[in-house]
């Protein structure tokens, strides 16, 4: 049995129309003037705001107390860094007004304490710590080079959102669907990536293990909610410093969200404790 | 071309477009490969036999820890006891992860984390199967299911046996649940483990570790374990289980003596894991003049140079030594 020619043409025209419609959205998006990106606050795929407490369940002996000189377990220093660490003198640091050396961005999130995160403006996240009373500014809008400030404990932090994206082979597989429920346009969640440079030299650990001014700090901030309602923040941290580190330092720091900041306890920097 | 062939051709065209333009319901990352352990934390290097630093143990968990004598591992029936799945975070090895696909549909059925010499295989079932009954047999590896949340694989392990959670100093019971989160950032894999145990923990115990993709990495394979006669007196007295009676653990002061950390902190508990506990420590911690043991190796001298710092002296004592007097 064969179909009439006009019916055959109608079927193929319909298939062609479906294909054009399916591709239409993508093609349309590629034409015309580029749209300005939404402000970072509007585009945020995750909500980092609020007060978070660091859970000191690992590296306790190096974080909760000031370890003695010579306790360098876990950090692979260069010989030059070892000499600097062996010369650690907290009293001298205090006297020189350098008591915040262990509160610089590469170490700050490991310091036991609470962090309070707010939007300073539509393109800047402000991260305050009660321990050391420090403030980090995570800027989504790039600053002009001329506006770059002097080196500081918290340096210059450039932030960007990273949205979920599957790899190609898995992406092409049909997604699991519940019958009658449309698949969401994009997967939920996302990550905040922050790269910090322009740092003033400081300590990775309170007992004088140094990082240099050429250190680069890369962080990935991820939040997740548990079935019991708890919200957690994990900051995956990569510190690269060829002058003082033989290998990049990798740590991930967990925080738990608190309902308010009633336990906020501003405490100034201390070189001794 | 027959009618059916034309219909099939048309359906194929439409299906191809539907597939190529579809967006998956949840993003999925490829986790397969060998992930090397990079850096270390204090959880994997507990030297003192009594060390509950940073562990939110319950009173029962503390009592269990203080009664434990590592010589118990030499008993014939315990020599092949493996670590718990939590050991993936605290142990010394990397992880080899592979995927298992349905041979027909190619849909992901499971992720598999290879075992080590003393850690069982973890199979993370992704096909929606339920966890077994609470009364089902428990294994060293437990039973694990997983699902994607954005780019993060969340896996829940139950049905694993009682075992170590910090190098022979603390334990989880056979009622514990471990929730893993695997998040990949390029060549880095962050693994967060949340251990909950109604018996030996008073609050969840959260640990993290970052692994780095290593194309040439290998791990110690899981091999069959064969018990031998390790300690003659245990072999001759098979009913004997080495242990310490309440108040009789001879190692209880070692961490305080070595590192100046007060006994209250050494005993762990939820309060010791929160920042405000530093206020208690400020008046009780006595910083040693210098690090005495387990201080980390000094760096090797620069290439071609001489006169690098001398290696640290080998510490006296340790697990095989006689208890301190």
Q: What is the pLDDT of residues B65-106, one digit of tens each?
A: 999 999 998 988 888 888 999 988 888 889 999 999 999 988
| Minimum-distance CB partner of B210 among A74, A77, A250 | A250
Structure tokens at B73: 């591992």
B317 has pLDDT over 50:
no
B324 has pLDDT over 60:
no
| Contact status of A95 with chain B (Cβ, < 8 Å) | no
Contacts of A113 in chain B (CB under 8 A): 275
For range A181-186, the mean pLDDT: 49
Contacts of B273 in chain A (CB under 8 A): 55-57, 60
Give the whole-angstrom CA distance, residue A147 versus residue B144.
52
Ranges of each domain in chain B: 33-43+68-213
For range A199-214, the mean pLDDT: 98
Element (H, E) at B145: strand B143-149
> Which of A51, A65, A169, A220 is best to mutate for the B interface (most B CBs within 10 A)?
A65
Measuring CA to CA, which residue among B227, B237, B242 is closest to residue B81?
A: B227
For range A73-91, the mean pLDDT: 96
Element (H, E) at B18: helix B3-21
CATH match of B33-43+68-213 with 2.40.128:
yes
| Minimum-distance CB partner of A187 among B26, B56, B302 | B26
pLDDT of the residue at B44: 65
pLDDT tens for B21-68 read 333 335 578 999 999 987 767 766 678 899 999 999 999 999 999 999
pLDDT of the residue at B18: 41
- Among A37-46, A128-137, B211-220, B249-258, which stretch is predicted with the lowest mean pLDDT? B211-220
Yes or no, beta carbons of A234 and B192 under 8 Å apart: yes
Prediction ipTM score: 0.84
pLDDT tens for B7-20 read 565 555 544 444 44
| Contact status of A258 with chain B (Cβ, < 8 Å) | no
Half-sphere exposure of A243 (CA within 13 A, CB side): 11
- Among A64-78, A116-130, B45-59, which stretch is predicted with the lowest mean pLDDT? B45-59
CB B180 within 8 A of CB B147: no
pLDDT of the residue at A29: 45
Yes or no, beta carbons of A73 and B108 under 8 Å apart: no
Yes or no, beta carbons of A174 and B259 under 8 Å apart: no
In the block, residue with structure tokens 């071609």:
B304
- Per-residue confidence at A10, pLDDT binned at 50, 70, 90? low
For range B211-229, the mean pLDDT: 84
| Minimum-distance CB partner of B206 among A23, A57, A61 | A57
Could you say which DSSP state residue A153 is in?
S
CB count, 10 Å around CB of A229?
A: 7
Chain A CA closest to residue B56: A57
Measuring CA to CA, which residue among B141, B130, B133, B127 is closest to residue B178?
A: B141
| C-alpha separations of B126 from A172, A235, B28, B102, B144 in Å | 18, 26, 12, 11, 9
For range A130-155, the mean pLDDT: 90
pLDDT of the residue at A1: 44
Which parts of chain A fold into alpha helices (H)? Answer: 5-30, 40-43, 60-63, 79-86, 90-95, 105-108, 168-171
For range A132-144, the mean pLDDT: 92
**What distance in Å separates residue A42's CA from the closest CA in chain B?**
19
Chain A / chain B CB contacts < 8 angstroms: 251
pLDDT of the residue at A78: 97
Give the whole-angstrom CA distance, residue B87 versus residue B269.
20
CB count, 10 Å around CB of A93?
A: 20
The percent of residues above 70 in pLDDT, for chain B, comes to: 82
Give the whole-angstrom CA distance, residue B88 versus residue B210.
11
Chain B CA closest to residue A252: B208
CB A138 within 8 A of CB A160: no
Give the whole-angstrom CA distance, residue A39 versus residue A44.
9
Yes or no, beta carbons of B22 and A183 under 8 Å apart: yes
B308 has pLDDT over 60:
no
Give the whole-angstrom CA distance, residue B232 versus residue B43.
32
Q: Which is higher by pLDDT, A176 or A119?
A: A119
Yes or no, beta carbons of B295 and A73 under 8 Å apart: yes
Give the whole-angstrom CA distance, residue B272 versus residue B285.
13
- Per-residue confidence at A142, pLDDT binned at 50, 70, 90? confident
Which neighbouring-strand residues pair with B206?
B194
In the block, residue with structure tokens 């050396």:
A101
The mean pLDDT value of chain A amounts to 86
Give the whole-angstrom CA distance, residue B69 versus residue B49.
9
| Contact status of A77 with chain B (Cβ, < 8 Å) | yes
pTM of the model: 0.84
The mean pLDDT value of chain B amounts to 85
- Among A137-141, B31-35, B148-152, which stretch is predicted with the lowest mean pLDDT? B148-152
pLDDT of the residue at A11: 55
CB B204 within 8 A of CB A257: no
CB A239 within 8 A of CB A211: yes
Backbone angles phi, psi at B88, to 5 degrees: -60, -30
pLDDT of the residue at A273: 94
| Contact status of A165 with chain B (Cβ, < 8 Å) | yes
pLDDT of the residue at B9: 59
């Amino acid at each position: 049995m064969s179909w009439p020619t006009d019916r055959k043409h109608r079927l193929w025209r319909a298939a062609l129309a479906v294909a054009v419609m399916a591709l239409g959205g993508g093609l349309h998006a590629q034409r015309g003037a580029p749209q300005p990106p939404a402000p970072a606050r509007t585009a945020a795929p995750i909500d980092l705001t609020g007060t978070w407490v660091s859970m000191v369940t690992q590296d306790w002996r190096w974080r909760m107390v000031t370890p003695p000189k010579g306790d360098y377990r876990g950090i692979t220093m260069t010989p030059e860094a070892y000499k600097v660490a062996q010369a650690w003198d907290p009293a001298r640091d205090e006297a020189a007004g350098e008591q915040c050396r262990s509160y610089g961005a590469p170490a700050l999130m490991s310091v036991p304490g609470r962090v309070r995160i707010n939007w300073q403006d539509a393109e800047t996240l402000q991260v305050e710590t009660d321990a050391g009373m420090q403030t980090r500014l995570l800027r989504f809008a790039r600053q002009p080079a001329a506006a770059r400030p002097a080196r500081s404990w918290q340096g210059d932090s450039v932030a960007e959102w990273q949205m979920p994206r599957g790899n190609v082979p898995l992406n092409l597989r049909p997604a699991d669907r519940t019958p009658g429920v449309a698949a969401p346009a994009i997967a939920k969640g996302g990550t905040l990536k922050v790269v910090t440079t322009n740092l003033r030299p400081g300590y990775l650990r309170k007992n004088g293990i140094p990082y240099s001014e050429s250190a680069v700090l890369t962080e990935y901030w991820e939040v997740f909610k548990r079935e019991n309602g708890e919200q957690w923040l994990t900051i995956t941290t990569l510190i690269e410093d060829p002058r003082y580190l033989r290998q990049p330092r990798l740590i991930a720091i967990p925080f738990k969200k608190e309902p308010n900041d009633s336990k906020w306890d501003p405490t100034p920097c201390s070189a001794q404790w | 071309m027959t009618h059916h062939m034309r219909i099939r051709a048309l359906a194929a065209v439409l299906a191809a477009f539907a597939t190529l333009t579809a967006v998956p319901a949840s993003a999925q990352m490829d986790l397969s490969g060998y992930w090397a352990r990079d850096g270390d934390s204090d959880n994997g290097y507990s030297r003192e036999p009594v060390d509950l630093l940073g562990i939110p143990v319950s009173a029962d968990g503390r009592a269990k820890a203080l009664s434990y004598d590592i010589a118990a591992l030499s008993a014939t029936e315990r020599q092949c006891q493996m670590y718990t799945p939590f050991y993936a975070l605290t142990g010394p090895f990397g992880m080899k992860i592979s995927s298992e696909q349905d041979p027909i549909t190619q849909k992901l059925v499971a992720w598999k984390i290879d075992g080590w010499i003393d850690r069982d295989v973890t199979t993370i079932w992704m096909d929606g199967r339920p966890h077994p009954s609470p009364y089902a047999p428990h294994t060293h590896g437990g039973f694990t299911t997983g699902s994607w949340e954005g780019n993060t694989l969340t896996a829940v392990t139950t049905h694993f046996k009682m075992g170590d959670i910090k190098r022979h100093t603390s334990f989880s019971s056979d009622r514990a649940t471990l929730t893993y989160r695997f998040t990949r950032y390029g060549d880095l894999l962050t693994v967060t483990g949340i251990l909950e145990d109604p018996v030996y923990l008073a609050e969840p115990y959260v640990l993290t570790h970052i692994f780095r993709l290593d194309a040439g990495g290998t791990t110690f394979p899981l091999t069959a374990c064969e018990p031998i006669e390790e300690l003659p007196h245990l072999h001759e007295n098979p009913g004997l289980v080495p242990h310490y009676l309440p108040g009789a653990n001879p190692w209880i002061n070692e961490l305080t003596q070595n590192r100046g950390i007060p006994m209250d902190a050494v005993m762990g508990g939820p309060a010791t894991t929160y920042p405000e506990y530093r206020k208690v420590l400020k008046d009780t911690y006595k910083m040693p003049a210098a690090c005495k043991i387990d201080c980390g190796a000094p760096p090797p001298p620069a290439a071609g140079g001489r006169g690098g710092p001398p290696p640290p002296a080998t510490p006296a004592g340790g697990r095989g030594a006689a208890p301190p007097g």
